[in-house]
Amino acid sequence: MDVKIAFLNGIINEKVYIEQPEGFTIKDKKLYVCKLKKALYGLKQAPRAWYERIDNYLSKLGYSKNEANSNIYFKTTNDGMVILVLYVHDLLITGDDNLIEKCKQDLIAEFEMKDLRLLHYFLGLEVNQKKDYIFLHQGKYTQDILTRFGMMDSKPLSTPMETNLHKLKEESSKSEALILHSSGK
């Protein structure tokens, strides 16, 4: 799911004033300023305000935060489990189908969102979903990195490291060392 204009959903708790926006100035009050009630893009408080808003909403719906990562939410019911991953304004939702649909309905009721359907690409990770399996890879990301560093014409190797490394223990001490066994190198 993609939240449209996510940062505009944030509510600001402190006093923030801005100059009157161009095209919306009042002629006889040009020196007046506007007090913001909601966040705007470019405002340094906007990401925090958006996160607090969606965090409060998900808590109200009964979602719990993952202890290790506060951007992962989950909800367990008698019908199963649903997991929601929040990354700025994108939401990745997985779990039992009926709970996923309920989650989407709840989110769309509160925020303007676009359902992107099945996951294909997320944070540089490509996802190919078939009936019997899910294949994860980073082919596009790898090509982008190779292009960025001018290495697209580099010679490919099946194993990008020396394969003749052996782990040996030194007899005089109990430390371990990696020793390369090749033609005198």
Residues 78 and 138 grouped into a single domain: no
> Region 153-157: what's the mean pLDDT?
81
> Does residue 183 surpass a pLDDT of 60?
no
Res 26: pLDDT: 85
Q: At which of 87, 117, 147 does a domain end?
A: 117
Q: How far apart are CA 183 and CA 101, in angstroms?
A: 62
> Does residue 185 surpass a pLDDT of 50?
no
Res 6: pLDDT: 86
Res 168: pLDDT: 59
Least Cα distance to 46 among 95, 88, 104, 96 occurs for 88
Structure tokens at 154: 């580099």
Considering the domain boundaries, does residue 173 fall inside one?
A: no
Residues 144 and 102 grouped into a single domain: no
Q: For CA atoms 165, 171, 174, 175, give the dihedral sign.
A: negative
Q: How far apart are CA 39 and CA 13, in angstroms?
A: 10
Res 163: pLDDT: 73
Q: For CA atoms 14, 56, 45, 9, give the dihedral sign.
A: negative
Domain count, the chain: 2
Residue 135 domain boundaries:
118-155
**Tally of CB atoms within 10 A around 128:** 12
Res 72: pLDDT: 95
Question: Using the 8-state DSSP alphabet, how is residue 156 labeled?
Answer: P
Q: Round the average pLDDT of the chain to a whole number and report it.
A: 85
Q: Using one digit for the tens of pLDDT, what is the confidence trace for 74-100?
A: 999 999 999 999 998 899 999 999 999
